Amino acid sequence: MSNIKSESLVWLDNLAALGAQLQKTPSATHAQLADALNLKRPYVSLLLALQPILDPTAIEKVRLAASPKSGISSHSGTQAATISFTLSFNCAKALIPLGKTADPSKAVHSALDTILSQRLAPKHIAALVDELMNGKPAETFDPKAKRPKPLRKVQDKPGRHVSNNDDDYEGSATWALLNYLVEVGVKPTDLRGVYFELMDFQSRSKDKTTYLKELRVYLENMFEHYGVNIKIK
């Protein structure tokens, strides 16, 4: 393993610190881990979701991509440095849904190979992940292809629906949740991140009272992170 360091890859250092802390306190709750590492609870929950799908080889790929290497230019024959590419945390967390595929490791490595070689932006990474989730190969991904947006701008009318089709969302707990989040102040552009954070919540407690308390704290911290002032009863 290399000793490549990058301030913009601090999330990888936090991921390593999280792994070390889990070895010390394997039964720690998300909140306890966040306190021990001096990190925000929602951030720790996302790191916990990334941990099982990023193996050492995947992490090494990310670090190597962020480190420019010297080489000989094939065009001029002169010494040149390859352009580095840093996978930000916002980009990395878009990979979380791949943990639900039949072979998460294979899916993540395929995604990373495409992301790093094409230097994809976050919105394109999200589109790539959606295609992989639908069984399409990463090699055929075209970032310039036009794709339907999963959400539309919220209309200033009762209900403030965010579905592409008003007939599709009726009775859907997912759309009801997204509409509620918009109502309490979450920006439509943040809905995807908030939704995944909600789905990623896990409690290490089997006691119902403790579970609900942890969930309440998790939700309040998450909403605070997204600038929404709300208290969960």
Query: pLDDT tens digits, residue range 95-116?
Result: 988 988 889 999 999 999 999 9
* 135 and 196 fall within a common domain: no
Residue 123 has what pLDDT? Answer: 84
**Final residue of a structural domain among 147, 168, 197:** 147
What is the pLDDT, as a whole number, of residue 76? 46
Q: Give buried/exposed letters for 108-124 (b at 16+ CB in 10 A, else e).
A: bbbbbebbbebebeeeb
> Does 201 share its domain with 100?
no
Residue 160 lies inside a defined structural domain of this protein:
yes
- Residue-level pLDDT at 227: 73
121 and 131 in a single domain? The answer is yes
- Give domain status of residue 73, yes or no: no
Residues 2, 99 share a domain: yes
Q: What is the pTM of this model?
A: 0.59
Same domain (yes/no): 166, 137: no
Residue 220 domain boundaries = 148-233
* Burial bucket for residue 29 (CB in 10 Å: 0-12, 13-18, 19+): buried
**CATH number of the domain that 21 lies in?**
1.10.10.2830
**Are residue 13 and residue 124 in the same domain, yes or no?**
yes
End residue of a domain, out of 147, 172, 195: 147
For residues 144 and 158, what is the distance between their CA atoms, to the nearest angstrom?
A: 35
State the DSSP string of 85-102.
----HHHHGGGGGGGGSS
Angstrom distance (rounded) from CA 81 to CA 73: 8
pLDDT value of position 148: 60
- Backbone angles phi and psi of 153, in degrees to 5: -65, 140
DSSP state letter for 38: T
Listed as ranges, residues in the chain with pLDDT below 70 are 1-7, 68-82, 147-180, 183, 188-189, 192, 195, 199-206, 230-233
Q: Kindly state whether residues 6 and 34 are assigned to the same domain.
A: yes
Domain boundary among 128, 147, 166: 147
Establish if 24 belongs to a structural domain. yes
User: Does a structural domain hold residue 101?
Assistant: yes
Say whether both 43 and 130 belong to one domain. yes
Based on the fold, state whether residues 143 and 33 are members of the same structural domain. yes
Same domain, yes or no, for 92 and 20? yes
Hey, which bits of 82-215 come out as E strands? none
Q: Please indicate, yes or no, if residue 79 is contained in any of the structural domains.
A: no
Domain count, the chain: 2
Is 80 inside a domain boundary?
Answer: no
Residue 200 CA, distance from chain mean position: 10
Q: Based on the domain organization, do 134 and 152 belong to the same domain?
A: no
- Comparing CA positions, the residue from 210, 229, 209 lying closest to residue 220 is 229
Instruction: Identify the three-state secondary structure at position 55.
Output: coil
121 and 185 fall within a common domain: no
The residue with tokens 């996978």 is: 87
In a domain, 75, yes or no: no
Number of C-beta neighbours around residue 144 at 10 A: 5
Task: List Cβ neighbours of 178 (8 Å cut-off, separation of 6 or more).
Answer: 151, 162, 191, 195
Domain assignment of residue 228, yes or no: yes
